[in-house]
Structure 1
């Protein structure tokens, strides 16, 4: 059995390195190598990676909503690869375990009870992905005990700086941005420039993310390494 972690891709070297580091940590936990592929910006693509694999493959989409890349791009890559035996797991969100990682990153960046929170996603025009993001915001609201505003770094309204400004105008003493991004890159840079009092790191290599992805692979029959 072969294992492939598929992410979006970024031109920022630190983001590419973060995805590679995440795959290595998952590999260490599984005791099996995990390959990395990207659906956009850079390669190798999922089709390129899958063409190199002779045995059945398991693909974990490292996406935080079921948008175009998950439902259209990835199946197209799999079909183009000609690989006869590929199992694709659910993406990483919406998922209660992923929301707990978002909350942990919030605490790390200095969030305190009473702070206004913006959940910052990359953005999407896909209705299913939009629904997934609203569900994630609701889950995070339950965790932090207060309403969480959903905003976007790219596609969609409101944009993150607009959401931060609106909360300040509404009387918030502090506004904290919860990054709902997998890795560092252009979008994370936009969050840092949003004017918030604090910005959480991307989910990245948080130990709970490593466990979540390893468990996605494990559920198709791969025991965790001792």
Structure 2
């Protein structure tokens, strides 16, 4: 019987202790919902344990980037750390990406109430990236939500890119939205999510919590792990 490799969830890391605590809580939910797995937590920077240290203690693993976009950290940092580990048995999954929408909508409904309201305007707020395609994913999710729920409008906004949360809220009000809610396209609390929340509050909008340890996010982490293992088995048989 083959032992399944560890699942290593890796987040960016932050100087804000709330961020690492939330990631740890998420991975605890993964363990509780999937006790058959060896679940470990790692960070790229600023928090411990570092990914390089976790990989130093294994011969094989599946690394799940706890990232919402395929930007620099996913494209460069994670594969770079895996390569430097010198562990050829380590696989890397896709990022969590737009599949976190069930959790984001749940967090939104918790502060906005019923979502089938044509007077509602929604800002989907992410941290933002210099990699334009990563920001475009957030904008596409906002547009899909608007069409699905029939809102007065929905806009993407970012803490470190344009449009800002303040500008997006103003655009929604100009378009006729009578209620404004901000959904955070963010995994864990920290300095930039705080910036989003402050901007929302200053503009008189309610704001949802970061995705955090939502069960749907925990199950997505495991889904990424399992689909990557399945692809590797197919590749190995084909080879």
- Could you tell me the TM-score, scaled by structure 1's length? 0.88
Structure with the largest fraction of helix? 2
Could you say which residue in structure 1 is the equivalent of 2:111? 109
Per-residue Cα deviation, 1:8-29 (whole angstroms, up to 9, x for no partner): 2222222211100101110222
Q: Point out the structure with max Rg over C-alpha.
A: 2
- Is residue 151 of structure 2 the alignment partner of residue 149 of structure 1? no
- Is residue 226 of structure 2 the alignment partner of residue 218 of structure 1? yes
* Structure 1: unaligned runs, 5 residues or longer: 222-226
Could you say which residue in structure 2 is the equivalent of 1:88? 92
**C-alpha deviation, 1:122, in angstroms:** 0.4
- Is residue 78 of structure 2 the alignment partner of residue 70 of structure 1? no
Aligned residues: 217
Deviates more, 1:142-151 or 1:20-29: 142-151
Pair 1:120–1:80, CA change in 2 (3 A): same
**C-alpha deviation, 1:196, in angstroms:** 4.0
Could you say which residue in structure 2 is the equivalent of 1:165? 170
SS in 2 for 1:150: strand
Matches within 5 A, 1:2-41: 2-31=6-35, 32-41=37-46
Deviates more, 1:60-69 or 1:104-113: 104-113
Structure 1 stretches (4+) deviating beyond 3 angstroms?
A: none
Deviates more, 1:105-114 or 1:133-142: 133-142
- Is residue 207 of structure 2 the alignment partner of residue 199 of structure 1? yes
- For residues 146 and 58 of structure 2, what CA distance do their matches in structure 1 show? 42
Could you say which residue in structure 2 is the equivalent of 1:224? none
Per-residue Cα deviation, 1:166-193 (whole angstroms, up to 9, x for no partner): 3234443221101000011112211221
- For residues 49 and 106 of structure 2, what CA distance do their matches in structure 1 show? 31
Could you say which residue in structure 2 is the equivalent of 1:183? 188
Per-residue Cα deviation, 1:61-96 (whole angstroms, up to 9, x for no partner): 11111111001111111111111111111111122x
- For residues 215 and 149 of structure 1, what CA distance do their matches in structure 2 show? 29
Instruction: Verify the 8 A CA contact 1:119 1:178 in the aligned structure 2.
Output: yes
Instruction: Verify the 8 A CA contact 2:169 2:180 in the aligned structure 1.
Output: yes
**C-alpha deviation, 1:100, in angstroms:** 1.8
- For residues 149 and 213 of structure 2, what CA distance do their matches in structure 1 show? 22
Pairwise CA RMSD: 1.8
- For residues 36 and 27 of structure 1, what CA distance do their matches in structure 2 show? 11
Instruction: Verify the 8 A CA contact 2:20 2:47 in the aligned structure 1.
Output: no
Instruction: Verify the 8 A CA contact 1:99 1:140 in the aligned structure 2.
Output: no
- For residues 87 and 196 of structure 1, what CA distance do their matches in structure 2 show? 45
Per-residue Cα deviation, 1:96-152 (whole angstroms, up to 9, x for no partner): xx1121111111112441211000010001133123223322333344333320100
* Structure 2: unaligned runs, 5 residues or longer: 231-239
